[in-house]
Structure 1
Amino acid sequence: MDEGDERDFAEYFAAKRDSVRRTAYLLCGDWHRADDLAQTAFVALHRKWNRIRDRAATDAYVRRTLVRASIDESRRPWRRERHVEQLPEPEPAGTRMDDQVATRADLLAGLRAVPPKQRAVLVLRYFEGLDVAGVAKVLGCSEGNVKSQTARGLANLRDALGEEVEAGG
């Protein structure tokens, strides 16, 4: 890579590293893993930087790489186990959603309970603001698959949080 490409990449990295890291955090729920995922996405981008003709598509490439890395990482056997100090207590009936999701931590915990592909769809749709076609393009699947994964993901998020979650965003 020549000096101009290196400078362009450094500028892109400086401009996007925080947003990519935040998206990675929403996908995995852990800042350390988010750093690893963001690094994986930027390393992959750096390898292909001089071959990218359409710089406007760079964000989509990074997003796609990030989601794939997150899903691949979640498939590793040691990521499936979760150790907890005590068993969770069931929520009392009649509690409202706004009381349960009062903090960001509650929402993130709910997202961690959603399977990785469904979580990726929810993060891309509702936190990154992509439409169904945009999510389908990032994930390399059909729009119908995105719609069904969104419905299943919202259902799993509802189960994790214990009540209705608004599908409108």
Structure 2
Amino acid sequence: MDFDDYVLTRGDALLRFAYVMCDDAQRAEDFVQEALVRCHRRWRRIERDAGLDAYVRKAIVRQYLSWRRRRAAEDRPTDALSDTRGRPDGAIEAIGERDAMLRLLAELPRRQRAVLVLRYYEDLPDGQIAELLSCSTATVRVHASRGLARLRRHPELAGLVAVAEEEA
């Protein structure tokens, strides 16, 4: 598959992946663009030697992790919800839950967040996550366990879980 075809077919999925990772549409676009620029330089070799999706996702994850190291202290998530006018009530609740989860993920250390997004959003096994993050599978499991434990202890998530249990 040539580079242009790859970007046309996988671009939206890569943007969604980057957005869940960083919770910022403009940064997600920047991460994907930078990762694709870097991959374009080596496209023939990547296509021949490695899985395209795995390689590009790894480049996006590296962009995200690098950004998180450089991030300014004043750059923090807000409590504002997205615009919900004209949406059904169920959609408003879903937006609120999604925004709450993205805020909670943003509070996690960068490696824990990356592991949880790769595991639950991209549905990758621990071995592939370890390869993407250049660590062992045991380290992936530790980051996942600690990240999930931290999310479970958060009072805002406890409220979402209680609502979900009442509806069930």
TM-score normalised by L of structure 1: 0.76
- The Cα of 1:82 is off from its aligned counterpart by 2.7
Q: Which amino acid aligns with 1:144?
A: A
Residue of 124, 131, 135 corresponding to 2:125: 131
Q: 1:123 to 1:81 in 2, by over 3 A?
A: same
Equivalence for 2:85: none
- The Cα of 1:84 is off from its aligned counterpart by 6.1
Q: Look up the SS of the partner of 1:37 in the other structure.
A: helix
RMSD of the alignment, in Å?
A: 2.6
More helix by share: 2
Residue of 36, 39, 53 corresponding to 2:33: 39
Q: Distance in 2 between matches of 1:82 and 1:51?
A: 39
- The Cα of 1:45 is off from its aligned counterpart by 1.0
- The Cα of 1:11 is off from its aligned counterpart by 0.2
Q: 1:11 to 1:53 in 2, by over 3 A?
A: closer
Q: Distance in 2 between matches of 1:13 and 1:47?
A: 14
Q: Look up the SS of the partner of 1:78 in the other structure.
A: coil
Same amino acid, percent of matched pairs = 40
Aligned length: 146
Residue of 114, 130, 149 corresponding to 2:143: 149
Q: 1:35 to 1:77 in 2, by over 3 A?
A: closer
Equivalence for 1:121: 115
Where do residues 81-120 of structure 1 align in structure 2 (5 Å cutoff)?
81-82=75-76, 103-120=97-114
- The Cα of 1:8 is off from its aligned counterpart by 1.0
Q: Distance in 2 between matches of 1:64 and 1:49?
A: 14
Q: 1:21 to 1:55 in 2, by over 3 A?
A: farther
Q: Distance in 2 between matches of 1:8 and 1:42?
A: 13
Q: Which amino acid aligns with 1:69?
A: Q
Moved over 6 A (4+): none
Q: Which amino acid aligns with 2:62?
A: R
Equivalence for 2:86: none
Q: Look up the SS of the partner of 1:75 in the other structure.
A: helix
Q: 1:121 to 1:114 in 2, by over 3 A?
A: same
Equivalence for 1:91: none
TM-score normalised by L of structure 2: 0.77
Where do residues 20-99 of structure 1 align in structure 2 (5 Å cutoff)?
20-54=14-48, 57-78=51-72, 81-82=75-76
Q: Look up the SS of the partner of 1:141 in the other structure.
A: coil
Equivalence for 1:3: none
Structure 2: segments with no counterpart, 5+ residues: 80-92, 162-168
Equivalence for 2:165: none
